[in-house]
Every structure is written in structure tokens, then in C-alpha cells.
């Protein structure tokens, strides 16, 4: 498998579905639809929906039926980026090599665009067909898990601790809490969404969840490293933003050498979690390898 080609192919499929599922940019009031589409289609690897679809493949689920749920995960991710970039939080001017939403449309529209994407995500979840493939019980469970992962039990909780921990000395347990929630919770629920909607047995769900937890931490450690040594043009956003905002990172807490080792350890644990599966899990295997060696 040429992973980069496969990832691009899957991203194109997801982008086509997002474009079809969302209202056109000309929908009144136009500025809000233009702004949310600007941020949503400004690039991005579509890892979260790709994870949901890949987990479904492992369980022999129906990709077509879970596509609305997979797309909902990208809406939540994009909303979180819009709000993260705001002056009150990270105060970033660039995202994916383009002006951030608030720099292009103003803070008020950016806030509302983020809000709109979050609420649209649950509208998309309601579009999943309830049939022999997806039962009402599975869909309700997924809605519950996504709500928690996007809220104070996940993304929001991690973001809050990240904000209040700025300029403070924190230990490894607090840093891990931040990243397992702020970043990891959405990776975890992405994999679980695809698995649950596809009817995964308990042992399959446990293996895939372990994979997702290690993948999420590997991703964040690598992200911390790239913020220090990455190239702004490659990663599409300003480097040293964590340093500027006085945020603790894995390199700042453990040193660069240890952080690199930790990302490799998380990769190996992720691979171990899914070693029982055949080639249906190859995309998941290649994804975690890609995450730790990427330059953006």
C-alpha cells in the first residue's frame, strides 16, 4: 500500500461527502456558510473520519451507511480548530497555510462558524440510516460517546486544563490528561464510532480502542515535537506557538530525545493492539506509522 496515495484517495471521498451533506455556500445568510466552508475545506488530512471508516472495514461494516457519522467527526474537529485559533485561546493567524477564520471573517463570525459546525455535526449523525446495518441502539451509543468526547469529558476538558496550566509547572500526569482529552478523545471516539456502528464484538472494540488511545498520544507527542523543529511552510501554521503561549509539551517536560522515544513506544503499542487482524487493518497500521514520521 502506498499510504499517502491511499490517504489522499480517502480524503477526497470524505471531502465529496462533506460537500454533499453541507448546505451550499450561497445559502442565506451567505457569510456564515462561506466561513464554515472556508475552514472546513482549507486542507487537512481527514484523519478522524478516515479512522471511523477504517475501523468499520476491520469489522466488515458498511462504509456508505456510516459516512454521515464519519463526516460529523470532521465538523467537530474543524470547529475546535476555529475556536483554538481565536485570540482568547491560541491567538494564531495561520492554519493549514491560510489565514485563520477569525483573521479572514472577524472574531464574531469565526465563533459562530465554529458553533454552527458543532451543531451541524449532530444533524449529520441523525442522517445515519437506521437499518439492518445500523441499529437504533448503536446509533444512540455513538451519539452519547461523541457528545462526551467533544465536551467536558474530553476535548473541552482537556482544553480547559491546557489553558489554566499555561505558565505553570505541571507534571507528566497532567500533561497526559491534557493530551488524552484535548486530542486523544476525538481519535478514540472516531475509531469507536466506526466499530460500534458496524456491530463490533466487545473484544474487537477493546482492541481498537487501545489502538486509538496509543495513536492519539503518538500524534500529540509528534505534534509537540513539530512545533519546535518543524518547518512553518510544511506544517501550515506558526511554529513555536506552544513556547509563545508558555504551554507544557512532551519535549519541554521530558526533553527531545525522550519525547521521540515515547512517540515510537506509543506507535509500537498501537500496532500491538491490532496485530490479530488481517490485511483489513493495514490502513490502521500504516496510519500510525505515518503519524510518527510525518513532517506536518
Q: What is the CATH number of the domain that holds 254?
A: 1.10.600.10
Structural domain boundaries, residue 212: 3-293
Number of folded domains in the chain? 1
The pLDDT value given to residue 243: 60
| Residue matched to cell numbers 493549514 | 96
Return the percentage of the chain with pLDDT > 90, whole number. Answer: 86
Note the pLDDT tens digit of each residue in 212-224. Answer: 999 999 999 999 9
pLDDT of residue 101: 98
**Mean pLDDT, rounded, for 189-204:** 98
pLDDT (average), residues 145-154: 98
- Asked whether the predicted pLDDT for residue 232 surpasses 80, the reply is no
Confidence of residue 1 (pLDDT cuts 50, 70, 90): confident
Pick the most confident of 63-67, 188-192, 223-227: 188-192
Q: What is the pLDDT of residues 50-90, one digit of tens each?
A: 999 999 999 999 999 999 999 999 999 999 999 999 999 99
Share of the chain above pLDDT 70, in %: 94
Could you report the per-residue pLDDT of 256-294, keeping only the tens digit for each? 999 999 999 999 999 999 999 999 999 999 999 999 998
Would you place residue 139 in the very low, low, confident or very high pLDDT band (cuts 50, 70, 90)? very high
pLDDT of residue 241: 65
Name the grid cell of 46: 481527514
Express each pLDDT in 80-137 by its tens digit.
999 999 999 999 999 988 999 999 999 999 999 999 999 999 999 999 998 878 999 9
Whether 92 contacts 235, CB under 8 Å: no
Task: Provide the pLDDT for residue 238.
Answer: 61
pLDDT at 39 exceeding the cut of 70: yes
User: How much is the mean pLDDT over the chain?
Assistant: 93
- pLDDT the model gives residue 227: 86
Taking alpha carbons only, the member of 210, 201, 239 closest to residue 92 is 239
pTM tops 0.85, yes or no: yes
What's residue 230's pLDDT?
Answer: 62
Amino acid at each position: 500500500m502506498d499510504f499517502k496515495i491511499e490517504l489522499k484517495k480517502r480524503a477526497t471521498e470524505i471531502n465529496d461527502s462533506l460537500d454533499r451533506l453541507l448546505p451550499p455556500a450561497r445559502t442565506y445568510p451567505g457569510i456564515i456558510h462561506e466561513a464554515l466552508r472556508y475552514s472546513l475545506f482549507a486542507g487537512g488530512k481527514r484523519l478522524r473520519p478516515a479512522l471511523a471508516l477504517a475501523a468499520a472495514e476491520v469489522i466488515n461494516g458498511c462504509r456508505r451507511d456510516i459516512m454521515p457519522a464519519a463526516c460529523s467527526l470532521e465538523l467537530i474537529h474543524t470547529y475546535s480548530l476555529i475556536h483554538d485559533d481565536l485570540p482568547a485561546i491560541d491567538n494564531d493567524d495561520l492554519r493549514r497555510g491560510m489565514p485563520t477564520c477569525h483573521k479572514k471573517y472577524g472574531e464574531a463570525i469565526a465563533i459562530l462558524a465554529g458553533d454552527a459546525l458543532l451543531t451541524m455535526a449532530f444533524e449529520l449523525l441523525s442522517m445515519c440510516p437506521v437499518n439492518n446495518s445500523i441499529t437504533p441502539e448503536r446509533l444512540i451509543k455513538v451519539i452519547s460517546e461523541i457528545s462526551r468526547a467533544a465536551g467536558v469529558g474530553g476535548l473541552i476538558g482537556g482544553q480547559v486544563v491546557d489553558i489554566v496550566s499555561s505558565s505553570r509547572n505541571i507534571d507528566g500526569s497532567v500533561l497526559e490528561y491534557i493530551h488524552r482529552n484535548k486530542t486523544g478523545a476525538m481519535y478514540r471516539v472516531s475509531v469507536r464510532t466506526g466499530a460500534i456502528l458496524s456491530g463490533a464484538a466487545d473484544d474487537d472494540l477493546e482492541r481498537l480502542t487501545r489502538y486509538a488511545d496509543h495513536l492519539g498520544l503518538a500524534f500529540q507527542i509528534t505534534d509537540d515535537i513539530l512545533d519546535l523543529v518543524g518547518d512553518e511552510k510544511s506544517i501550515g501554521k506558526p511554529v513555536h506557538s506552544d513556547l509563545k503561549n508558555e504551554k507544557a509539551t512532551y519535549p519541554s517536560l521530558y526533553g527531545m530525545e525522550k519525547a521521540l522515544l515515547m512517540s515510537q513506544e506509543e506507535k509500537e503499542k498501537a500496532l500491538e493492539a491490532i496485530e490479530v487482524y488481517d490485511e483489513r487493518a493495514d490502513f490502521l497500521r500504516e496510519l500510525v506509522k505515518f503519524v510518527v514520521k510525518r513532517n506536518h
